[in-house]
Amino acid sequence: MPELLEKLSFYLDFPFVRYAIIVGVLVSLCSSLLGVTLVLKRYSYIGDGLSHVAFGALSIAAVLKITNNMLLILPVTVAVAVLLLCTGKNARIKGDAAIAMVSVGALAIGYLLMNVFSTSANISGDVCTTLFGSTSILTLRVEEVYLCAALSIAVLAVFILFYHKIFAITFDENFAQATGVNTTIFNLLIAVIVAVIIVLAMNLVGALLVSALVVFPSLSAMRVFKSFFAVTVASAIISVVCSLIGIVVAILAGTPVGSTIVAADIVAFGLFYSISLIQGRGV
Amino acid sequence: MFKVVLAVLLAFAALFAKEPGGKEKYDIDISRMSGTMVYGQVYQMVTYPSKYLGKHIKMKGFFSSYYDEELERRFYGCVIQDALACCSQGLAFELAKPREFPKEYPAEGDVITITGDFDFESDEGGGGFPIIRNAEMQTEK
């Protein structure tokens, strides 16, 4: 144990490890907050769809040799998130079908572009690290950390400021509309925030594992807690703790960062599920 | 008195030059790090080489070499892979005591440990690459 602590303290001396921990905590906190809303609105899989869209946009940015790829990834992901979340019941292609179509389409087009207009000597490596986020969190630049911190603070501020409106829309959109809440504007706001979180979270766990950050902490918290507020707070704590454990285990044991964080989330879900069984709350 | 002072100075010099147990002291010992950390550290060294110029480095990885026909020069590298083994990064090295290739070099993919000083070799096109100079190489059997 003292050896592990010594090793951890040695690793913490490296700035890129500290950046990874800061970004990991911020991203997991933001994703868990919106995760509760997305799970309750039956949009659990939107994280997956949007992260694939972000992957497609990243491929286009690579082909066009855009230095700051965020300038393309963020607007494209936000636009698709708005399309998916705001067209709602009036859409000709509805809910899960639209997400599945966008998700698979963007992934295929992204991979196709990367292969046809190759700009790197190691395409499979680039694709692999983007999809699974093996080490991208340990290769962040200082500017990216600042950008992530600014976007995370903006997301947290919006969530706290409009907590009651988000709560109302999450549970009963029609009732919220009847009571004077502009549901269109707030659905748009949720869509934008979700897109921002997904783009940020891609660095942490990779495009294929983003959904885990959105879904697992919320589902774990819902096993034990029942009010929206308690679930949101518990979800945030679970998400941050799991991300910290995942990053620390990954750098100590040399495992891929993204999948180690998700593994920690799965263990937490198992733990909370067991607690709910002991409490007699069932599944 | 002079002998005592000299002995103390020599003892201090030895203390700072070597770690206990006769081990060399390194500014960055990548061979002690986990796979994930190694990948992150080598990425930093390749991306921001100016921060590491002159640092005494120790790294462990796979031996690799290639011959550049345009430059008529053979490059030797110590390559590491990330935890998913889909991405690899490496640092070129130049041995302090040149050896004959391929007779005195390990086979491609053999595990090697390199110690030496970090440097950046600029090329004519304005680019360049990081390289470990005055290197010593040990092959893991």
Query: What ipTM does the predicted assembly reach?
Result: 0.73
Say which residue, B24 or B59, is predicted with more confidence. B59
Q: How confident is the model at residue B14 (pLDDT cuts 50, 70, 90)?
A: very low
Say which residue, A66 or B17, is predicted with more confidence. A66
CATH class of B22-139: mainly beta
In this structure, of A136-140, A234-238, A278-282, B70-74, the range with the lowest mean pLDDT score is A278-282
d(CA B107, CA B89) in angstroms, rounded, equals 18
Return the percentage of chain A with pLDDT > 70, whole number: 92
Compute the average pLDDT of residues A205-219.
Answer: 85
Say which residue, B118 or A47, is predicted with more confidence. B118
The residue written with tokens 């733990």 in the block is A271
Q: Is the pLDDT of residue A216 over 90?
A: yes
Q: Where are the domains of chain B?
A: 22-139
Please report, to the nearest 10 degrees, the dihedral formed by the alpha carbons of residues A177, A171, A265, A148 taken in order: 20
Strand blocks (E) in chain B: 18-19, 23-24, 28-29, 56-68, 73-81, 88-95, 111-122, 128-139
Compute the average pLDDT of residues A209-214.
Answer: 84
Q: Are strands B28-29 and B56-68 parallel, antiparallel or unpaired?
A: parallel
Q: Report pLDDT for B2.
A: 47
Q: Is the pLDDT of residue A265 over 60?
A: yes
d(CA A157, CA A150) in angstroms, rounded, equals 11
Q: Are strands B18-19 and B28-29 parallel, antiparallel or unpaired?
A: unpaired
Q: Which residue of A has its CA nearest to B43?
A: A139
**Measured between CB atoms, which of B37, B38, B87 is closest to A129?**
B87
Mean pLDDT (chain B) is 79
Chain A residues touching B39 at Cβ < 8 A: 134-135, 138
| Interface contacts (A, B; CB < 8 Å) | 74
* Bridge partner list, B68: B73
**Measured between CB atoms, which of B37, B82, B87 is closest to A11?**
B37
Q: How confident is the model at residue A264 (pLDDT cuts 50, 70, 90)?
A: very high
Chain A residues touching B84 at Cβ < 8 A: 128-129, 132, 134, 256
Say which residue, B4 or A194, is predicted with more confidence. A194
| Neighbouring C-beta atoms of residue B14, cutoff 10 Å | 10
Task: State the nearest Cα–Cα gap between B97 and chain A, in angstroms.
Answer: 32
Q: Which residues contact B135 (CB under 8 A, 6 or more apart)?
A: B93, B94, B95, B96, B114, B115, B116
Mean pLDDT (chain A) is 85
Contact A269, A216 (CB under 8 A): yes
Of 1.10.3470.10, 1.10.1840.10, 2.60.40.3950, 2.40.160.10, the CATH number of A2-278 is 1.10.3470.10
Phi first, then psi: give them for residue A27, nearest 5 degrees. Answer: -65, -45
d(CA B24, CA B18) in angstroms, rounded, equals 5
Q: Report pLDDT for A174.
A: 85
d(CA A134, CA A148) in angstroms, rounded, equals 19
Compute the average pLDDT of residues A195-218.
Answer: 84
Q: Report pLDDT for B77.
A: 92
Return the percentage of chain B with pLDDT > 90, whole number: 27
Angle subtended by helix axes A46-63 and A210-224, to nearest 10:
160
Compute the average pLDDT of residues A35-58.
Answer: 86
How many residues appear in chain A?
Answer: 283
Nearest to B130 by CA among B75, B85, B74: B75
Q: Is the pLDDT of residue A245 over 90?
A: yes
Q: Is the pLDDT of residue B60 over 60?
A: yes
pLDDT tens for residues B82-137? 655 666 778 899 999 888 888 889 998 899 999 999 999 888 777 888 999 999 99
**Could A135 and B41 be called an inter-chain contact, meaning their C-beta atoms sit closer than 8 Å?**
no
Q: Is the pLDDT of residue B18 over 50?
A: no
Nearest to A77 by CA among A50, A102, A98, A99: A50
Q: Report pLDDT for A120.
A: 63
Q: Is the pLDDT of residue A246 over 90?
A: yes
Map residue B68 onto helix, strand or coil: strand
Respond yes or no on whether the N-terminal peptide bond of residue B130 is cis (omega within 30° of 0): no
With 0-12 / 13-18 / 19 or more C-beta atoms within 10 angstroms meaning exposed / middle / buried, residue A178 is exposed
Q: Report pLDDT for A8.
A: 87
Q: How confident is the model at residue A7 (pLDDT cuts 50, 70, 90)?
A: confident
Give kind and range of the element (H or E) at residue A223: helix A210-224
Is residue B112 left, alpha or beta, with left meaning phi > 0 and alpha meaning psi from -120 to 50?
beta
Q: Is the pLDDT of residue A256 over 90?
A: no
Nearest to B31 by CA among B103, B76, B80, B68: B80
Tell me the H-state helices in A41-69.
46-63
d(CA A36, CA A172) in angstroms, rounded, equals 14
Angle subtended by helix axes A210-224 and A228-253, to nearest 10:
130
Q: Report pLDDT for B30.
A: 86
Compute the average pLDDT of residues B65-76.
Answer: 88
Q: Report pLDDT for B15.
A: 42
* Bridge partner list, A198: none
Residue B14, amino acid: A
Q: Report pLDDT for A119.
A: 64
Q: Report pLDDT for B17.
A: 43
| Neighbouring C-beta atoms of residue A74, cutoff 10 Å | 20
| Neighbouring C-beta atoms of residue A184, cutoff 10 Å | 11
Q: Report pLDDT for A100.
A: 86
Query: Which of B26, B82, B89 to mutate to test binding with chain A, by most A CBs within 10 Å of its CB?
Result: B82
d(CA B130, CA A32) in angstroms, rounded, equals 41
Q: Is the pLDDT of residue A117 over 70?
A: yes
Give kind and range of the element (H or E) at residue A16: helix A15-40
Task: State the nearest Cα–Cα gap between B33 and chain A, in angstroms.
Answer: 8
**Could B37 and A251 be called an inter-chain contact, meaning their C-beta atoms sit closer than 8 Å?**
yes
Q: Is the pLDDT of residue B1 over 60?
A: no
**Measured between CB atoms, which of A124, A128, A138 is closest to B36?**
A138
Compute the average pLDDT of residues A176-183.
Answer: 86
